[in-house]
Structure 1
Amino acid sequence: MTDIKGMFHQFFVSEDNRDLLRFLWWKDGDPNNKVVDYRMKVHLFGAVSSPGCANFGLKRAADDGEEEFGQQSANFIRNDFYVDDGLKSVATVKEAIDLIQASKSLCASAGLKLHKILSNKKEVLESVPADERITGVKDLDLHVDPLPLERVLGVTWCVESDTFQFRIELRDRPVTRRGILSTVSSIYDPNGYVAPVTLKGKQILQQMCRDKLGWDNPIPESLRPQWEKWRLECVHLEQLKIQRSFKPENFVSIMDAELHHFSDASKEGYGQCSYLRLVNNWKRSLLLRHGKSKGDPTEACDHPKTGIGCSNHVCKNK
């Protein structure tokens, strides 16, 4: 994982467009001086145009530097950045070190600086100067200290165990439709790892909507026990660990990968489940499951012959 330092400020605004970024400020930053009219010469944080312009410049830097610094680093810059945050997995430590060095050089050629570098492999971190590592790792003794918890695009990543985890901080909010919506939405889970859990909270909210309760109406007594039980049980999500890498270390080289998608729906909601099938060069296969849901969660079973799961209520092989 890496970040581009001050990304928006690294790209100039064309001179004929700078009047669109005018602002008033005291001369020389002194409040006792006269207020004068300034124009931003670079893109600023908060402007709707900044992410698009900066991403265009970043991809242009990849195109310009591809011949000198290699296709792998150019593709990383082109395809694996979310605004200024870069995320990439490679097969070996050497590949990671080479990619970091080439990407740093490519960015530097365009006046950009890669920093806040983090890896789940300490050998990779040792190849990076301490001042270019992410803050929580700069002062660590990599031979002794464990790697910390970090956030990756809002998701908690335990770098030492290379797992995704959840930090649950349910604040005391009014037990109203508004408060329940705020509590349920506070569990950030873009990949749907804990969809069967958050689903129950959403169903309670759904019932309040069906009952046409206002935003600040208290929860009905018939739903209160379900809500309190769900809220108490949510703290156990902190014990859950999701392996970041689907591929086990001893699985050798992947020769083929298949995605199998299944979905189902009811009046209570709908669900979707995906299976990743990996085949290595020994013709051994591995089946991994990932799902999302909105509505009643249904348990899944594995067919003894096919190894593909299905909803219990339609399974003929239970």
Structure 2
Amino acid sequence: MDVNKPGKVRVVFDCAAKYNDTSLNNQLLQGPDLMNSLVGVLLRFREKKKALSADIEAMFHQVHVIEEDCHALRFLWWPDGDMSVLPKTYCMQVHLFGATSSTSCAAYALRRTASDNANKFPDEVIETVKRNFYVDDCLKSVDSEEKATKLAADLQSLMKIGSFRLTKWISNSRLVIDTIPDYERAPMVVSLSPESELPYDRVLGINWNVNDDFITFKIKKTNKPVTRRGMLSIVSAIFDPLGLLAPVTLRAKAIVQSLCRRKFGWDEAIPQIDHDEWQRWIINLPCLENVRISSCFQPKYFSTLKNKQLHVFSDGSKTGYGACAYLRITDENDNTACCLVLGKSRLAPIKQASIPILELCGAVVSCRLYAMLKEELDLKIDKVVFWTDSMIILGYINNTLRRLKTFVGNRISYIHKMTSPEQWRYIDSCSNPADIASRGIDPGDNTSISLWLNGPDYMAQDESTWS
């Protein structure tokens, strides 16, 4: 097939033209990236109490290719599998799984369905299609069961107009599930009795305890050789897009980096001291299955929120550097809660760097986390505070007159661009949860995990008591 003939990728060209994509030459077959961020979808899923999850059935196959472009999807077929005869040539009439352009074209068709029917449905329904879908998965949270029921019905009606079937529905509310026909529910809740508990589910790779509304972790036991290759395979298998386990995985990555620094081969036997440290980490790894994180930022007993604050902590050490962001919320009854929203840990470079430099890198990471949360969260944040346990970093940030060395100056310039010096405050190292992110912890260290997930104790107190 001559792919240079005109019309072969017209669907992608049309898709790109609608969104004024200026980098089309670099995305000839892939098309523009119309996908929502995975982290953003998961963050918005945790904002409110009543959660919904659904899936578009065979999404790619619902999007047709115009006839003259079908030849770009030709394939050969041997009838009855007989390779001795000449094959027949067929053309796909719909977008197929595995084609580079399918994701972009299907996402465009989904968004076009919403925009073409914007006058027929409430704004929240249209925004849900644009902001709460990741490929074919829909994750959404709302304030009440009534809103969830109405939203589910409207989404199904909107999707039908575009010939998309929204199915496999599941919710943490039984009332919402009862309003959805059995044939449209997820298989595990099709014949759910009133006495039985809601099951576990996986939403975009995250384990969701639907009945108790918690995020949990499932650790797969694998028998990998204790080498750089086997260790890295185990660490990489822990799927944690929100960084909720960042300090735990940092400890394992530090062991691998230490072997790399000493130039051990991928399959070479490692020294006994490293072997023992790795085994301690592996033995304690199943302890993570006991970690339960609320799926919603708001506790169930909370009423209407009156204040929402974002607190971002940063730190650096000889092992690594990192940052973590917490949402501190207060309701109308003056109840206060604080929970981890996003975490990030990075190893220190193999080439040795000073602690102040690593502290500065941690502060930059905290600004990047804030930039991401500002873009992705739908919650209106009333106040943002940045915390560090380094007086040197606070001195850098409050310096607006003296010139700094290039490395430091560039990073301070970025911090000033994203924040103001008045937003930065000091915290002692013992209370700083980012200290855990920069040093790493073992999976069985429950005290450190509690501080990491809930933030410092004083966050639950009145602001007047803060140092």
Task: Give the match for residue 149 of structure 1.
Answer: 200
Quote the offset at 1:71 in angstroms.
Answer: 1.5
Structure with greater helix share of residues: 2
Paired position in structure 2 for 1:8: 60
Q: CA deviation at 1:63?
A: 0.8
| Residue 36 (structure 1) aligned with residue 190 (structure 2) | no
Residue equivalent to 1:297: 440
1:13-69 CA-to-partner distances (Å, cap 9, x unmatched) read 122322211101135xx3357521111111000111111110001000011122112
RMSD: 2.1
* 1:231-246 correspondence runs (5 A): 231-246=282-297
Secondary structure in 1 matching 2:315: strand
Residue aligning to 1:125? 177
For 1:248 and 1:110, locate their aligned partners in 2 and report how far apart those are by CA, in whole Å: 37
Greater alpha carbon shift after TM alignment, 75-84 vs 192-201? 192-201
Superposition pairs for residues 1-318 of structure 1, below 5 Å?
1-27=53-79, 30-31=80-81, 35-141=87-193, 143-282=194-333, 284-290=335-341, 291-294=343-346, 295-297=438-440, 302=456, 304=458
Cα offset for 1:266?
Answer: 2.4
Residue 259 of structure 1: how far off its partner (Å): 1.5
Q: Secondary structure at the match of 1:66?
A: coil
Q: Which has the higher strand share?
A: 1
Greater shift after overlay, 293-302 or 186-195? 293-302
Amino acid at match of 1:132: E
Q: Which residue of 1 aligns with 2:375?
A: none
Cα shift at 1:305: 8.5
The answer (yes or no) to whether the contact 1:252–1:281 under 8 Å persists in 2 is: yes
Q: Compared with structure 1, are the counterparts of its residues 16 and 305 closer, same or farther at alpha carbon in structure 2 (3 Å cutoff)? A: closer
Q: Distance in 1 between matches of 2:290 and 2:207?
A: 13
Q: Distance in 2 between matches of 1:306 and 1:138?
A: 41
CA distance in 2, matches of 1:146, 1:244: 17
- Counterpart of 2:203 in structure 1: which amino acid? V
Letter in 1 for 2:81: P
Change (3 A) 1:112 1:257: same
Moved more, 274-283 or 235-244: 274-283
Greater displacement, 52-61 / 289-298 = 289-298
Which structure 2 segments of 5+ residues have no match? Answer: 1-52, 347-437, 442-447
Q: For the Cα contact (< 8 Å) 2:324–2:344, is it kept in 1?
A: yes
SS at match of 2:289: helix
**Cα displacement (A) at 1:307:** 5.5
In 2, the alpha carbon distance for the partners of 1:247 and 1:224 equals 42
Bigger mean CA deviation after superposition, 12-21 or 219-228: 12-21
Secondary structure of the residue aligned to 1:222 is helix
Instruction: Supply the distance in 2 between the matched residues of 1:305 and 1:9 (Cα, whole angstroms).
Output: 50
The 8 Å contact of residues 177 and 214 in structure 1, kept in 2 or not, is answered as yes
Q: In the superposition, relative to structure 1, how do residues 289 and 154 fare at CA in structure 2: closer, same or farther (>3 Å)?
A: closer
**SS across alignment from 1:68:** coil
1:167 Cα offset (Å): 1.0
Q: Percent identity?
A: 39
Matched-pair contact (CA < 8 Å) for 2:336–2:460:
no
Query: Distance in 1 between the 2:325 and 2:100 partners?
Result: 35
Local SS of the residue matching 2:201: strand
Q: 1 or 2 for the larger relative contact order (CA 8 Å, sep ≥6)?
A: 2
Query: Contact conserved, 1:272 with 1:293, CA < 8 A, in 2?
Result: yes
Q: Which runs of 5+ in 1 are unaligned?
A: 309-315
On the 8 A contact 1:3/1:86 being kept in 2, the answer is: yes
| Equivalent pair of 2:328/2:459 in contact (CA under 8 Å) | no
How far off its partner does 1:148 sit?
Answer: 1.1
- Tell me which amino acid in the other structure corresponds to 2:106: A
TM-score (norm 1): 0.90
Which whole-Å CA distance do the structure 1 matches of 2:224 and 2:267 have between them? 11
Letter in 2 for 1:163: F
* 1:170-223 CA-partner distances (Å, limit 9, x unpaired): 200111100000011112111122222222111111111111111111221121
Change beyond 3 A, Cα 1:243–1:306: closer
- Of 65-74 and 221-230, more deviation after overlay is shown by 65-74
Contact 1:69 1:105 in 2 (8 A): no
